[in-house]
Amino acid sequence: MGLIRNDSHIFDRRREEGLFTVRYLCMRWEYPTGDCILVRSPDGKTMLIDSGVSHTADQVLEYLERLGVETIDLVLLTHPHGDHVGGMARILEEKHVKKLYTINVSLENLYSDAYRDAEEVLARKQISRHVVGEGEKFSLGADVSIEVLSPEKEFKLSELEYRYDSILNNHSMVYKVTYKNNSFLFSTDIYEEREQLLIEKYGAYLQADVMHAPHHGSTSSSSVAYIRSVNPQVAIVSFHRNNPVTAEILARYRSLGVKPYHVGIHGNIMLVSDGKQIEVVTENGEDQEEKIVG
């Protein structure tokens, strides 16, 4: 892992030229804001992963504007919970999106208005929509590959099952992004029981340099066994602020030799890769961690 530093100029687009970047966007609101991650390939292709909640869509659009993103080559919609799909309809409406990949959501059984709103915009703007599942691979530009590890493509949930957060979270998309010698594992909102299934199925293949801490750093996830299987150097927690629960998870990662970063502490976080080394750039200094814990 390369040099880790804080940088107030995190939106300087020049630092991205010819490099692979993953940006965790920090949306500021008093309630949980969810996930929104922007990935850019060295040749300038963009992938937006989820959208955060509806109340922070303006912030996401402002970030995209600052980063010069008018066209989004690929959107990944990991599952239809409001903290992942809430702002999606607005983004699809205002940006030129070429295609969207998502899991096999059963609209007749789903209660999410935000997901239905996104589907309406997709249909009206004739944006290409693809259902993906375990084992499928696709690319972002010349050297960036994405592989879906979970869920299976043809799963189907009942109306009642859609109303249980744990069931839908365990069917959220798990995928591995690889750029040359560097890899990033995104486990979205899965719980410990799904982590165990992935360990049994994939074993050492789960290993990655960077790990997205499942379920926003909740104690429902990030089991010791899963962290050890992934064996990352860095973990990113996407939660809007620190609290005793996430402090416990941060301590767990540290105890296993992993450097954790937290959107609620470090602000916007950018991972920069040249295909060999990864640099972590944060908006706020690392001393913020001690100031905010508790």
The answer regarding whether domain 4-292 maps to CATH 3.60.15.10 reads yes
241 — pLDDT class (breaks 50, 70, 90): low
| Spatial contact of 210 and 178, defined as CB atoms under 8 Å apart | no
Q: What is the mean pLDDT of the chain?
A: 88
CA 44 to chain centre: 19
DSSP string, 43-89: TS-EEEE----GGGHHHHHHHHHHTT--EESEEEE----HHHHTTHH
107 pLDDT above the threshold of 80: no
Tell me how far apart the terminal alpha carbons of the chain are, to the nearest angstrom.
29
Query: In this predicted model, what pLDDT tens digit does every residue of 9-55 receive, in sequence order?
Result: 788 888 788 999 999 998 876 565 678 999 999 999 999 999 988 88
pLDDT, residue 29, reads 62
Question: Which pLDDT score, from 0 to 100, does residue 8 have?
Answer: 56
Domain locations along the chain: 4-292
The model's pLDDT over 167-182, given as tens digits with 9 standing for 90+, comes to 888 999 999 999 999 9
8 A C-beta contact, residue 105 and residue 80: yes
Q: What's the farthest any 2 CA atoms get from each other in the chain? A: 50
| Paired tokens of 272 | 């920069």
Amino acid identity at 253:
Y
pLDDT at 289: 42
Q: Is the pLDDT of residue 291 over 90?
A: no
Distances (CA, A) of 88 to 5, 55, 164, 289: 31, 11, 22, 31
Residue matched to tokens 């989820």: 50
